[in-house]
Structure formats: C-alpha cells, structure tokens
A and B are shown apart, each in its own frame.
Chain A
C-alpha cells in the first residue's frame, strides 16, 4: 500500500510544552488509520500539522508526495474535519453544502451530482432544508463529513468525529468512512475511545506527545493472547475483590466488567489461585484481548502500577434503603420536553449510571437530581430529603464532581480545600482533620502548595474528587468523570469510587461513554427524554446474545435497545 503521509522524527512545541516529540510513522492510502490517545496526547496537533495548519519545529512531513513546504500543491486534496465541525449553524444543510462548494470552486454539473450522492450517502437528504444548528449531534457530524468529502479529497483528516455521538450514529459514521476508504482515500480518524482503535486498519497510539505503538490493532492485541480471562464476581464487596486481585504479583490489570472480573496476566505468569477472593465455584474463562488491555500493559511498563487505596466512607447510609428516588421527573424548556416522566430508584452503596447520547435528556435529569435545576413536574428525593422542599439540606448530603473538574486554577491545592470545606460549613477540628484526610488519601501532599491550574490532569481529577468528598456526602454525583483520560487514570479513579460504594456511598454517574458505563452496578438508558431501559450492564448485554454475537458489548446492547424503542414508537404511531 503506498503511503499517503510520511512523518519522520516530527516534533512540535508550544512555548515550553512539547506537544509532539519524535513521531515517525506512515499513513497508507485506502486505509483507516486510527489516531488513538487520551486528551492532551497530541492528536489534534498531529492532524493540524498534516493539514498544513501548523508547521513542524523538527523533522519532516510529506503529504501526498509533496514536502511540508510545498502545501499549495496538495491543499485541494486534503479534507479536514475539525473537532467542532466548521458548520454554520444558522444556514441550512443545503446552504452549508453550497458554501463549501463555492469555496472549492465547484461547477454546476459537479455540484448537483456530488450533492445528490453525499446527501443520499449520509442519509441527510430528507433534512436538506433544516438549519444545521437544529440537527442532532450525530447528524451534525455527518454533515461535517459531507462538507469535508465534497472536494473529493485523497486524504481525509477527522478530529474525534465520534465524540459525544450516540452509538447508532457512530456506527453510521463508520459505515460512511469505511466506504470512502474502499475508494482509495487515506483516512485518519482520531479518537479517545479505545474500542474504536480495533475497527481501524492500523493505528498510531499517542501518549504525552510520543508515539507509543503503531501497526495493525490485531497484531497489537495478539501479544496478549492467552493472558486475558473473565471470572465471575461474588455479589458483595466486588470492588474490594477487584482491588485485591489487581494487587496480586502475577496480575497486570484487573477491572470490573459487569458481574465479572477481567484479568490480564503479566507476561510469563500463570493464572493465580483466586478461590479465596471469588469463591471456589467461580472458574476463569479465557476471553479475547482488547485494545485497552494491550494499551494498559504497555503503559504499566513505563509507569509504576496504580496504588489506589480504598477510601473508607464515614457517612451513614440512609435508613429507608433508598438513596435516590426520581418519580415522574419531567422538565420542559419552552415547548420542548427535555425529560419526560423519568422514574427510578438507587439503593445506598450502589453505582448507578445514566447513559445516553448528548441531548437525550440525561444531563437534564442529572441536574434536576443534584438540585441545579427545578423539575417542571414530578419529584426527586436524594439522601432522604425532598429536593423540592429542602434543597439546601439535601446539598449538605451530596457531593458533585463535574467533567471540567471545577477547581479554582489560580489558587493552591490547599486554598481550594480550605475554600470548599468552608462553604460546606466545616470548621475547627473537623475542618482540619478532613483536609488532612483528603491530602493523605488522595496523595496530594507533594503538590499542596502548587496552583491547581498547573497540575497534571490526574492530580486535578483527584483534587476535584477530594473537594467533593470533604463533607462526607452520602450521595456522590459524577458528570462524565473519566471521559478522555488515559486508562490507568480511569482505573485509579474507579477503584476509589468502588471503595466509596463498598463503604455505603451512593454514586450517580452520567456518561455517553461505554467504557465508563461498565463500572456501574446498574444503568438507566436515557433516550429522547425517556428512560427506555434499566438494569445491570450484564442483563442488558444478555438480551442481545445471538449465535452470531455470543459476547455482545454494551454498545451492541445500547444500539439494540434504541432500535427496539424506535420500532415500538413507530408501531404505536402506525396503530
């Protein structure tokens, strides 16, 4: 396969921070190359270098047979779709396409032919008169893709096209891009979702600006062949079992996957006897290694293994056996009903996940439950308190951590802790002992006097969680806590959350991220403002087991549930 892009010892710095260091790789024509890595790994920088929007500091870059210095020759052959698709939200779908065609000087004949193909191809034909701003996230991405494909590029650069898109639309995007690759276009698809790497023909794995691995995903995971197992978990203390298994010398990685424990053995180690941990009846079953397993074992080679001590929760769970109860929660924004009669309950010590695509109403539900938004109808009880009656009392019992790690960046770690303990009304000895506890349990002693904004992502995440736990809440709300962080950090984070749950703290998580959902005890799938299904991740997957698909993923289950729901609604409408 001829290389469309060749990178040799490529480096790029912004000020004193190196965004990319010494990257050497080739990107083939007719292939989908996955540019994989956590947030801040250098994916966007690399794409912008290839697109000619940045110039490299070091090394050479050859794109479609031309050197980086000679970009005008190839500009028309590169399609680039930035993360925030360059759409004009106040123009219609058709007007956006027209504009792109004008910008590329397409003549009438080429225009009408390509519009027809692309609209049909992306399934946007029925929506050509709709304003781009009123499309769903998935349709916006498809329109962005159509705009990038309009000039018939030979190289297509896609910057996180699937971020925040629901799984069904994500599959559509993959189908479109796969077809394009079939016509000989070289495609670079950047993503923070590790499961997507497995769908690519080849991948470049970036971490901290360095190329950690590259090649074909199957070769990458094959190294772990025979070293990955699933084993059933006991009903209770699942997180403790997971922590203890992870600490065993022969185990490289142990994660909770539904009701099972996923184990990755260290190279050359034999499977240890786990009967003490999981009981004698549970037998390990071999399973197919995933991209994430390979990534984690590679990261563990550089970094010391994660030591995330379990956190002893000190708050007493509420007596009535219900920590969170939503009853017919409804919220209208003008004429639009964002959430429609959502009901569910969460028991103390349970980790409950609200899962759904962006715009489905999960964030609105979440915000109503933590008191940031008043419901239009229905009621919410959290930690034994009716949010409609005593919101302030409820707030003393809940902790909240947002996706953006809402910290005061120019204050030191200690100042942040001082402030949050103060607004939670802690004082005197309790205040100082809670702050000391947080610094110790979250291993923040070495950075206590540094400004929070300058800390690496992992420290920020720990500090944000620490701040949310200062007042020993009974219920913890997490808003997409680990999207885009690297898998080791995600493990460390969830191991702490698991410890909290074992100690009786109830956790409500919202996410559109399947990997995060696997950590939950139970899930509620929110779609089009309704909760269309709830249950354990395993039970959801179980429903979609077929002969062709013996081990369905959570995403398979999700797509299946949404399809069933749509079919039901159509059936109801027809009747």
Chain B
C-alpha cells in the first residue's frame, strides 16, 4: 500500500515540477500579492487632498489653518472662496475634505465665545472619511490645548498600543495575507489536480489500478501539505525580512497550526474537485468558496463588527482561526494554551472535509 502511495506522491511532485504553469501559479501570484499588499494596501490615510475655504484672515484662523497645513495627514491642494467651487471640487473628487472657517471665527475666539469650524468630507469613502475626521479632531484638540494652556487641563491620556505600537497596518495585514495566499495555492493545487486527471482520463486509469480511493486521497494530500509548508514559511519570511513585520512567536507553533490549516484546506479542495468535472468548474468552485470565506475571515474587517448570523458563520471557516493564530504568533508570542481554542476547531473542520471527500470519492465508484 505504501509503495503505491509513494509512487503517486512522487508523480505529483514530478508533474508540478515539470509543468511550468503550475510552478507559476505557486510562485508568481503570491509574490505579486505580497508586494501589492505590503506596499500599496494600507489603512493609514496620509497626504489626503484638502481644500481650504477660509473667510477669516485674522491671526487665530491663520494659526488653525497652518496646523492643518503642517499635518502629514493632509496636503492642501486648493483654496476656495465660494460654496459652488467647494461643491464642485468634492463632486469631482479633486479633494477628499474641505476645511471651512467662517467670517466670525477669530472674533469669536478673541471674545472667548464658542467658535466653530466646519469640515466637509466625502462620505462616499466612509472609511477614509472617518479616519480624516479623527485626524482633524486631533488637530483641533491640540489647537484648543495650545490656546487654553496646559494648566487648565486636569485629565491627560497617554495611549500606548501593545503588539503594534505605531499602528503600522502592514503588521496587521501581512500575517493575515500569509494565511490567505497559502490557502489560495493549496485550494488551486488540490482542486485542479484531480479535475485535470479527470479531464485527461488518467483518473479512470488510476481507478482501475489497485489504488484504493483512500490511497489516492493520501497521495493527493501529502504533496499539498508539503507545498503549503513551503509557501507559508516563505511568505512569512518575506513579510519579516522584506517588510519588517516582527515574528515574536514560536516557529514550531506556527508550523503546527499551518499543518492543521492546510489539511482542512486540502479537504475543501478535494471536495470541490470530486464535484467538478472539468478544470474550469474546479476553478469556479475555488472562487465560489474563497470570496465569502475571505469576507468571513476577519482578514480585512473585524469579525466583532459583523451581525450575529455572520459571526456564527465565521466559525465554519478555517481561515478565521488561522488568521487569528497567525497574527497572534507574529505579533504577540501566542502561547500554546491560547492557541488551542483556535487549533481544535480547525482540526475538526479538517476531519469533516477530508472525511467527506473520501466518502465522495468512494461513492463515485458505486
């Protein structure tokens, strides 16, 4: 039995190695995505195009405006003198926000009255607008403090973020991305390999050999497992060395988690491939699974913000657990005890998907 499985595993590696296209799928897209996410994707907003509509030339107003000009978050690109121009600039997305200081601002400040400034935001990009709003509030706050003087303030907060002191969004994105890129590669490999054999007719050839369905599954799982290890470790290493994400946790725990995760992914890939008749159907199946699974993984948006029913669904998603584990191991030196609540559901999902795939495979023969 082991001899037959060994022959199958050896063949899988040879085919992957000799097929230029498979090699490309494993290497190029993950690298491109890593570079894209590492460099281009960030939640921070800096250099946002700001328009100024200043109707007050006095000193207090100028002081406020110069604080906005000095902030790295904003970059002043336009000055307006009438509301029509403001509207047009926001409509055409020439500016992301407009700061409006009315005629009475300086007078109000001087008189100690309640002074008002207006910030107009482009709500079409709600996330960026929220962030800009908080930056603007920060600037106004510090302006207030400077006007009123330290002595007047009794409460003084010094926030310190653990695990990611500078809120570097790469630290948040890349550990999750490692997980996603690994699962994309694994799903494609497993789903396509069986579908391709079915298209070529070699699958039937396998089924008339003494290989049992279980043995075919093992033969397809082991290569995927190896590739998953290599892929995950490679991307993790690149995230650390090329993009400076810290890796403070245990490498052993990371690889144990990846093994459990890859097994659950292989199960999903094999289920897709035993249903798909052609490679096209297999690819469609992979993407049909991946798009909702990405949303429900907590990779981009926090699971805690989702409605209850969606939160419940995320518990079926192995990516969810692995993203949590990966972030924990990278940034937090997660302990085995804390990892366990994430590991066992993944293992359970793996048992179910692999078991289901075995059942589907044998049933096909009936």
Main secondary structure of the interface of A (DSSP, over half): loop
Main secondary structure of the interface of B (DSSP, over half): helix
Q: Which of A421-437 contact B (CB under 8 A)?
A: 421-425, 427
| A-contact 0/1 string along B192-229, CB 8 Å cutoff | 00000000111011111111100000000000000000
- The reply to whether the CB of B19 lies closer than 8 angstroms to some CB of chain A is yes
Q: Which residues of B contact A8 (CB under 8 A)?
A: none
Count class of interface residues, chain A:
20 to 34
Contact at A374–B7, with CB atoms within 8 Å? Answer: no
In this complex, what residue of B is CB-closest to A399? B208
Q: Which residues of B contact A425 (CB under 8 A)?
A: 3-4, 210
- The reply to whether the CB of B58 lies closer than 8 angstroms to some CB of chain A is no
Contact at B202–A374, with CB atoms within 8 Å? Answer: no
Contact at B210–A396, with CB atoms within 8 Å? Answer: yes
**Closest CB-CB distance, A383 to chain B, in whole Å?**
13
Q: Which residues of B contact A109 (CB under 8 A)?
A: none
Given known contacts A398-B208, A400-B208, A423-B7, A406 and B365 CB-to-CB distance under 8 angstroms:
no
Contact at A400–B205, with CB atoms within 8 Å? Answer: yes
Of B9-17, B260-268, B294-302, B310-318, the one touching chain A? B9-17
Contact at A372–B205, with CB atoms within 8 Å? Answer: no
Q: Which residues of B contact A215 (CB under 8 A)?
A: none
Q: Which of A362-394 contact B (CB under 8 A)?
A: 370-374, 392
Q: Which of B3, B7, B211, B365 has the most CB of A within 10 A?
A: B7
Count class of interface residues, chain B:
20 to 34
Q: Which residues of A contact B77 (CB under 8 A)?
A: none
**Closest CB-CB distance, A104 to chain B, in whole Å?**
32
**Closest CB-CB distance, A515 to chain B, in whole Å?**
23
Contact at B202–A372, with CB atoms within 8 Å? Answer: no
- The reply to whether the CB of B366 lies closer than 8 angstroms to some CB of chain A is yes
Q: Which residues of A contact B10 (CB under 8 A)?
A: 418-419, 422
Contact at B209–A410, with CB atoms within 8 Å? Answer: no
- The reply to whether the CB of A415 lies closer than 8 angstroms to some CB of chain B is yes
- The reply to whether the CB of B329 lies closer than 8 angstroms to some CB of chain A is no
In this complex, what residue of B is CB-closest to A402? B201
Contact at B210–A406, with CB atoms within 8 Å? Answer: no
Contact at A409–B200, with CB atoms within 8 Å? Answer: yes
Q: Which residues of B contact A407 (CB under 8 A)?
A: 202
- The reply to whether the CB of A395 lies closer than 8 angstroms to some CB of chain B is yes
- The reply to whether the CB of B6 lies closer than 8 angstroms to some CB of chain A is yes
- The reply to whether the CB of B18 lies closer than 8 angstroms to some CB of chain A is yes
In this complex, what residue of A is CB-closest to B203? A406
Q: How far is the CA of A407 from the CA of B200 in the complex (A)?
A: 8
- The reply to whether the CB of A411 lies closer than 8 angstroms to some CB of chain B is yes
Q: Which of A371, A396, A406 contacts B201 (CB 8 A)?
A: A406
- The reply to whether the CB of A404 lies closer than 8 angstroms to some CB of chain B is yes
**Closest CB-CB distance, B207 to chain A, in whole Å?**
6
Q: How far is the CA of A410 from the CA of B20 in the complex (A)?
A: 10
**Closest CB-CB distance, A180 to chain B, in whole Å?**
37
Contact at B11–A411, with CB atoms within 8 Å? Answer: yes
Contact at A423–B19, with CB atoms within 8 Å? Answer: no
- The reply to whether the CB of A80 lies closer than 8 angstroms to some CB of chain B is no
Contact at A410–B201, with CB atoms within 8 Å? Answer: no
Q: Which of A371, A411, A418 contacts B18 (CB 8 A)?
A: A411
- Which 9 A-B pairs rank lowest in CB-CB distance, beginning with the nearest? A422-B7, A406-B201, A406-B205, A404-B201, A400-B208, A406-B202, A419-B11, A423-B209, A374-B366
Interface residues of A (CB under 8 A from B): 370-374, 392, 395-396, 398, 400, 402-411, 415, 418-425, 427, 451, 467, 477
Interface residues of B (CB under 8 A from A): 3-4, 6-8, 10-11, 14-15, 18-19, 200-202, 204-212, 365-366
Interface pairs (18), CB distance under 8 Å: A371-B208, A372-B207, A403-B201, A406-B200, A406-B205, A407-B202, A408-B11, A408-B200, A408-B202, A411-B11, A415-B11, A422-B6, A422-B7, A423-B8, A423-B206, A425-B3, A427-B3, A477-B208
